[in-house]
Structure 1
Amino acid sequence: MLKGKKIALYVTGGIAVYKVVDLMRSLIKAGAEVQVAMTESATQFVSPLTFQVLSKRNVYRNIFAEDDPAKVNHIHFADWPDLAIVAPLSANTLAKLANGIADNFVSSALLATTCPIFTIPAMNEHMYENPATQTNIETLRGRELYVMNPDEGFLAEGYSGKGRFPTQERILDELRLFIREKGRALPLKGKSVIVTAGGTKERIDPVRFISNDSSGKMGHAVAEAAWEKGAEVTLITASPLAVSGNITVIRVESADEMHEAVSSRFDSSDALIMAAAVSDYSPETTHTRKMKKRDKLTLTLKKNPDILKEMGKRKQTRQCLVGFAAETDKIEEYAKKKLEEKNADLIVANDVGKKDRGFNVDKNEVIFFSHHEEPQTINLKAKKDIAEDIVDWISNFIN
């Protein structure tokens, strides 16, 4: 969602400036191009050189430093981005922005900005709660600028209160939501999508279990990609990986737990993507206490529910059902068989016998198998990119 985005980052005066350095790095790591402008007050907390070195771009701060006669810097800066972020937004700059005051580079460029503006206020609690500040916030929101609510916590003044710079996780969640709402291409808007992820654990006793090598990275990436395309996403995961706050997450461990979670939600969904590596078998008996070591151990296994097959039988015409096939040989034969037997619309198959792809790595190479198209090979690339390909296929199918 942030990949390829041009972001103007406006940094204003406040102790939270040091946190913005890390925020900028996260934006860049996500693929955004970031250009920074600072108020003179902001430079008292963190040197412009820090932002310059990390962004690899000049930092703008002097409205009269017109070094290129072919352009007016603050207007060029305002015209350049797809998105403007003000972090931290001080009470002073907040008041200027609300009242159209343009007396430095930051306030002048913001006044000329026509792209969406996302702001992150951070200040003393009493300054934040002041009626003048609250009026200014409502003014900005009335103009469709996004104004985050600050966190509550320990402030620079030595006491707790509201006004703390939000956590980076919350900032990125709300920023993605803001970008999605401003976006026009949302082919899955209004659609309900369920994604499963991770390798289930089938308990032998409290400390031992049967499982597999699935990390959950593929399923989590698919959930994010579906959400970015406008879907309301429920991620049912057996993986400990972090999940965006914009996605409904249900943590499960066993195949039975995953089966129950999927089954109770499937009928009201528009799509189910079974990216989880569900264990085929589980112990017939689970011991409540740790089993002591012995020379030989015999486990009697029972077959777990075939979630994909069951949902295939229940599938309605409007629904899209996607399964995964992790194979080490005869990939095409097994994938086509699975496509028919499970009544799936798409099977995403991959070779897990190669070390540079598949389980527990960030890249994969897959083949799409569907009923009315020739097999489509997706060459080795990041799982996030493959997730986007999968979601695009689903969007085309549904629409």
Structure 2
Amino acid sequence: MLASKKILLIVGGGIAAYKVLELVRRLRERGASVTPVLTRAGEEFVTPLSLSALAGQKVYRDLFDLTDEAEMGHIQLSRSADLVVVAPATADLMAKMAGGLANDLASTLLLATDTPVLIVPAMNVRMWTHPATGRNRAQLAADGVRFVGPNEGDMACGEYGPGRMAEPAEILAAIDSQLGDKPLAGKRILVTSGPTHEPIDPVRYIANRSSGAQGTAVARALAALGADVVFVTGPADVPPPEGVEVIRVETARNMASVVQTALPVDAGVFAAAVADWRVTSASDRKLKKTRDGVPALEFAENPDILKTVSHLEEDRPPLVVGFAAETEDVVANATSKRTRKGCDWIVANDVSPATGIMGGQENAVILITDDGAEEWPRMPKELVAQKLARRIADALAD
């Protein structure tokens, strides 16, 4: 948690500034106090009133506000926080920081502070990849400034590439990593994520609709609590989290081999949607349509990673958490799976198409343990991950 932590939030100009409102709300939920500083450019995208209402604090805007100078002073404002967060950090703000300029309140605070600084870049892809921004980025990193993002994706300007501002959950995880308590410090945790791809031929494969979003969020949340995370991911849609050991795999057999090598660990979280079957004799050439009709495919069962790890005599993790994606009788099927696999917990959810959960941004899970089935309300996958990470920390502390 971030209770009693003080965040000085500098809001730069850019369409991504709207995400800051959600960030402020989440920081307040976690007990942090947020003092907003809004640049003139930032005012074009979010209003002082909306920021003030969510933060519960006055919004600072003007370097030469004499009343504020008499009461607090911009030097004190810059040093009274536990962390300075700049979001979005535009190319202009990064250039000012790298060059030591101080011609407005935001840049003056950044130059005067002796507090750690975390910036969240957001700009057009051409601006992000420009050599000048690269030089500024390198200088800021050398100065000890930490970065979150940017991500790759669609831009408001219609272009695609790196420069998209990180999502509030990613920023929150970085802040947590910087300031939050670390109940999992010294613990090594394995997380599997994403689908697996089982080849039919060089261009076709068997897979499922898993995006890897939930497993990625779990890895990020565990790392934020101080865990040393080994993240084994299939070909997921979402990028892997920063600050963890990432091992990429393609098939179920690849994943099983990597998992075995990663042991021992203090906990294993098996969120990957591993394909149950594979083609026994995948072709090394693309299969062609012929007059003989549809080719016959023979299947073999893939390794059961969760069951194998749960039944290890040596190197079994003290806590093994499986996931169960169901479309009917969720609790009954997941409870049966927990018994059959031999794991300690099962995180179950309904992935019927109508729920929009598989590949979506939210999840509604039921945690099944020795104590029974505990239903959690539907919430963003990042919050599910944070709640699960806290529960894991509590279990490993017992």
Tell me the TM-score normalized by structure 2.
0.71
Residue 66 of structure 1 corresponds to which residue in structure 2? 67
SS at match of 2:368: strand
* 1:50 pairs with 2:44: yes
Shift of 1:109: 5.7
Residue 397 of structure 1 corresponds to which residue in structure 2? 395
Residue 337 of structure 1 corresponds to which residue in structure 2? 336
Residue 299 of structure 2 corresponds to which residue in structure 1? 301
Correspondences of 1:105-120 after superposition (within 5 Å):
105=105, 116-118=116-118
Residue 260 of structure 2 corresponds to which residue in structure 1? 263
Shift of 1:196: 0.9
* 1:235 pairs with 2:231: yes
Correspondences of 1:269-280 after superposition (within 5 Å):
269-280=265-276
SS at match of 1:384: helix
Extract unaligned runs of 5+ from structure 1.
Answer: 12-16, 97-102, 150-165
SS at match of 1:249: strand
Residue 382 of structure 1 corresponds to which residue in structure 2? 380
Which one of 213, 217, 222 corresponds to residue 217 of structure 1? Answer: 213
Shift of 1:8: 2.7
SS at match of 1:199: coil
Task: Describe the shift of the 1:93–1:303 C-alpha distance in structure 2 as closer, same or farther (beyond 3 A).
Answer: closer
Contact between 2:309 and 2:316, CA under 8 Å: does it hold in 1? Answer: no
- Which shifted more, 354-363 or 24-33? 24-33
Correspondences of 1:1-399 after superposition (within 5 Å):
7-9=7-9, 21=14, 24=17, 27-28=20-21, 30=23, 31=26, 35-36=36-37, 47=41, 49-50=43-44, 53=47, 56-57=50-51, 60-66=61-67, 72=72, 74=74, 77-78=77-78, 83-85=83-85, 87-88=93-94, 90=96, 94=100, 105=105, 116-118=116-118, 146-147=144-145, 179-180=175-176, 182-238=178-234, 239-265=236-262, 267-294=263-290, 295-314=293-312, 316=315, 319-371=318-370, 373-399=371-397
- Which shifted more, 194-203 or 328-337? 328-337
Shift of 1:357: 4.0
CA deviation string 1:228-263 (max 9, x = no partner): 111111211111311233122111111111111111
Contact between 2:324 and 2:347, CA under 8 Å: does it hold in 1? Answer: yes
SS at match of 1:298: coil
Contact between 1:34 and 1:55, CA under 8 Å: does it hold in 2? Answer: no
Distance in 1 (CA, whole Å) between partners of 2:170 and 2:364 is 32
Distance in 2 (CA, whole Å) between partners of 1:350 and 1:395 is 22
Distance in 2 (CA, whole Å) between partners of 1:10 and 1:93 is 18
- Counterpart code for 2:366: I
Shift of 1:225: 1.0
Contact between 2:16 and 2:165, CA under 8 Å: does it hold in 1? Answer: no
Distance in 2 (CA, whole Å) between partners of 1:231 and 1:392 is 11
Shift of 1:356: 2.2
SS at match of 2:184: coil
CA deviation string 1:336-364 (max 9, x = no partner): 22212222110011122252243111112
Task: Describe the shift of the 1:118–1:252 C-alpha distance in structure 2 as closer, same or farther (beyond 3 A).
Answer: closer
Distance in 2 (CA, whole Å) between partners of 1:148 and 1:329 is 45
How much is the aligned-residue C-alpha RMSD, in angstroms? 4.4
Identity, in percent, stands at 30
- Counterpart code for 1:210: I
Residue 154 of structure 1 corresponds to which residue in structure 2? none
Distance in 2 (CA, whole Å) between partners of 1:113 and 1:357 is 45
CA deviation string 1:190-236 (max 9, x = no partner): 11111111111110001111111211111111111111111111211
SS at match of 1:259: helix
Distance in 1 (CA, whole Å) between partners of 2:340 and 2:299 is 23
Shift of 1:305: 0.3
Distance in 2 (CA, whole Å) between partners of 1:345 and 1:312 is 8
SS at match of 1:379: coil
Distance in 1 (CA, whole Å) between partners of 2:165 and 2:63 is 32
Contact between 2:101 and 2:107, CA under 8 Å: does it hold in 1? Answer: no
Task: Describe the shift of the 1:397–1:177 C-alpha distance in structure 2 as closer, same or farther (beyond 3 A).
Answer: closer
Distance in 2 (CA, whole Å) between partners of 1:174 and 1:106 is 23
Distance in 2 (CA, whole Å) between partners of 1:375 and 1:177 is 28
Contact between 1:364 and 1:382, CA under 8 Å: does it hold in 2? Answer: yes
Distance in 1 (CA, whole Å) between partners of 2:98 and 2:368 is 58
Tell me the TM-score normalized by structure 1.
0.70
Shift of 1:4: 11
Distance in 2 (CA, whole Å) between partners of 1:283 and 1:59 is 62
- Counterpart code for 1:254: T
Shift of 1:83: 2.5
Distance in 1 (CA, whole Å) between partners of 2:394 and 2:35 is 33
